[in-house]
Amino acid sequence: MKKILFFCAALLLSAAFVAAQTEPAHIGRVKGTSGMVSIQRAGALKPAFPNMKVYLNDTLLTGSDGAVGILLEDNTLLSMGPMSRLALDKFDFSPAQNKYALQLRMEQGTFVYLSGLLGKLAPHAVSLDTPSGTISMLKDTNFMARFGGDE
Amino acid sequence: MKRIHGLFVGLSLMAAAGGCAGKDNLIVLTPDDSGRVGALKVSNDGGETVLDREGQALHLGDRRTSPGAPAPISDEERAFFAAALAAQPLAPVSYFLCFEFDSNNLTAESRQRLDDILRAARERGSQDFLVIGHTDRAGDADYNAALSLQRAEAVRELLAEKGVAAEVIQISSHGEGNPLIPTADEVAEARNRRVEVVVR
C-alpha cells in the first residue's frame, strides 16, 4: 500500500513538473502583423502571425516593411513600426499575490505603448530600458517612442 | 600605454559629443481615453527628466547624454509613428449577459447581445474569450458557486453554437463572491446574475 501511495505521489509530482516544464504560461499574444515580423525565442527566429502566443524572454523584430501589435495578459497594448526590436524581459501580473512587474527593452525602432492593468495598479513596477536610458512610470501613462539603436 | 588609454578616452568623448548633436531619439506622451496624460521619468548617466505634459517630447541622445528639458514635438516627428499607430491592436472589450432568477437562461435582452460579442471578436480577429459566471446573493453560497459555473457553461454553449471554437473559450466562475452591485446576503439583484464575456 505504501509503495502504491509513493508511486502515485511520484507520478503526480512528475506530472506537475512536466506541465511546468513544457507549458510555461504565455504573457501575451500577437494580435496583428504586416510585412516581415519575427520572434526570437531560445536562439531561434520564427515568423510571427496573429494569435501566436508570446513568452517571457522573447524578442520581437520587424523588417523594413514590418509592423506588429501585441496584447499582454494585463491588457498592455504594444505596437511597433518597421526596423524595430523589443525584448520582453520581465512580466508578472498576479493581483491575488500582489505581485507586479513589467520590464521591456526597446532596443531600436518606433513604439506605441498603451498602459494596461499593470500600469494602472502598479505604475512603479513598470520600467523600460532604451538606448537613451531607463523610462520609469510615475503614474498610469501612455507614450510613443523612437530609438535609432546603439551605434 | 597611458598615452593609448588617453587616446581612447579622447575618441569616446568625441563619439559622445556626436551623439549629443544627433538627439534622434524621441519620447512623447499620448492621452488616455479620458484625454489625460500620465507622467514618466527618463534617467541615464547624464541625469534625469520628468515628462508629464501633452505635446511635449524629450529629444534624447545616448545613455551618456543628459535627457535635457521637454520641448514641443513637430508634425514631421509625429509622422515617424504612423506605422506603429496603424498596427495598434484594439483593446479587449467586456460584455455583461444577464440571467433569469435562479436559472441559466439568458434574459431576452442579453440574448440579443451575443451578436455584438461576435462582431467584437471579428473586429479583433480574436481567438481568446474569457467567460466568467456570477450569481446574486440569494440562496446558499455553494449552490451559487455551482449555478455560476452552469451559467458560464451555458454561454460557452451559445458561443459554440454561433461557431466559436470551444478551445478558445476559457471559463471560470466566481459564485456570489464578486458582485457587480454589492448587496447584503440573501438579496436578489438582477444585475449580479450575470456572465462577463471578455473578448481579447
CA–CA distances in Å: residue B193 to residues A5, A34, B73: 43, 42, 49
CA–CA distances in Å: residue A103 to residues A126, A127, A135, B70, B151: 6, 5, 10, 24, 38
Q: Is pLDDT larger for residue B16 or for residue A64?
A: A64
Taking the C-alpha atoms of residue A88 and residue A93, their distance in angstroms, rounded to an integer, is: 14
In the predicted model, what is the mean pLDDT of chain B?
Answer: 89
Give the pLDDT band of residue A65 (cuts 50, 70, 90).
very high
Q: Is 90 exceeded by the pLDDT of residue A147?
A: yes
Per-residue confidence (pLDDT) for residue B9, from 0 to 100: 46
Question: Under a CB-based contact definition with an 8 Å cutoff, are residues B82 and A145 in contact?
Answer: no
Other C-beta atoms lying within 10 Å of the C-beta of residue A149: 15
Q: Is 70 exceeded by the pLDDT of residue A5?
A: no
Taking the C-alpha atoms of residue A132 and residue B65, their distance in angstroms, rounded to an integer, is: 8
Per-residue confidence (pLDDT) for residue A9, from 0 to 100: 53
Inter-chain CB proximity A146 and B128 less than 8 Å: no
Per-residue confidence (pLDDT) for residue B15, from 0 to 100: 42
Per-residue confidence (pLDDT) for residue A2, from 0 to 100: 52
Substitution target in B59, B75, B76, B88 with the highest count of A β-carbons within 10 Å is: B88
Angle ∠(B14,B16,B18) on CA atoms, nearest 5:
70
| Assigned C-alpha cell, B19 | 551623439
Q: Which residues contact A12 (CB under 8 A, 6 or more apart)?
A: none
A107 touches chain B (CB under 8 A): no
Taking the C-alpha atoms of residue A5 and residue A12, their distance in angstroms, rounded to an integer, is: 11
For residue B86, list chain A residues with Cβ-Cβ distance below 8 A: 67
The arithmetic mean of pLDDT across residues A124-144, rounded, is: 97
Query: Predicted ipTM?
Result: 0.84
Taking the C-alpha atoms of residue A61 and residue A82, their distance in angstroms, rounded to an integer, is: 9
Q: Is 90 exceeded by the pLDDT of residue B41?
A: yes
The arithmetic mean of pLDDT across residues B74-100, rounded, is: 95
Q: CA of B113, closest CA in chain A: separation in Å?
A: 23
Nearest of B86, B80, B82, B83 to residue B25 by alpha carbon? B80
Q: Which residues contact A60 (CB under 8 A, 6 or more apart)?
A: A37, A38, A39, A40, A48, A54, A68, A70, A80, A84, A85, A86, A88
Q: Is 90 exceeded by the pLDDT of residue B146?
A: yes
Q: Count CB pairs under 8 A between chains A and B.
A: 154
- Among candidates A110, A114, A151 on the partner chain, residue whose Cβ is nearest the Cβ of B81: A110
Taking the C-alpha atoms of residue B168 and residue B160, their distance in angstroms, rounded to an integer, is: 10
Poorest-confidence range of A124-138, B14-28, B50-64, B97-111?
A: B14-28
Question: Under a CB-based contact definition with an 8 Å cutoff, are residues A121 and A100 in contact?
Answer: yes
The arithmetic mean of pLDDT across residues B49-72, rounded, is: 94
Per-residue confidence (pLDDT) for residue A95, from 0 to 100: 86
**What is the per-residue pLDDT across B101-130, written as a single tens digit (0 to 9) for each?**
999 999 999 999 999 999 999 999 999 999
Question: Which string of DSSP letters, residue by residue, matches chain A?
Answer: -HHHHHHHHHHHHHHHHHHHHH-PPP-EEEEEEESSEEEEETTEEEE--TT-EE-TT-EEEE-TT-EEEEEETT--EEEE-SS-EEEEEEEEEEGGGTEEEEEEEEEEEEEEEE--HHHHH-GGGEEEEETTEEEEESSS-EEEEEE----
Q: Is 60 exceeded by the pLDDT of residue A11?
A: no
Per-residue confidence (pLDDT) for residue B17, from 0 to 100: 40
Q: Is 70 exceeded by the pLDDT of residue A118?
A: yes
For residue A82, list chain B residues with Cβ-Cβ distance below 8 A: 83
Poorest-confidence range of A76-85, B11-20, B113-122?
A: B11-20
Taking the C-alpha atoms of residue B200 and residue B189, their distance in angstroms, rounded to an integer, is: 28
Helix intervals (H) in chain B: 2-22, 75-79, 82-86, 108-124, 141-161
Taking the C-alpha atoms of residue B98 and residue B108, their distance in angstroms, rounded to an integer, is: 9
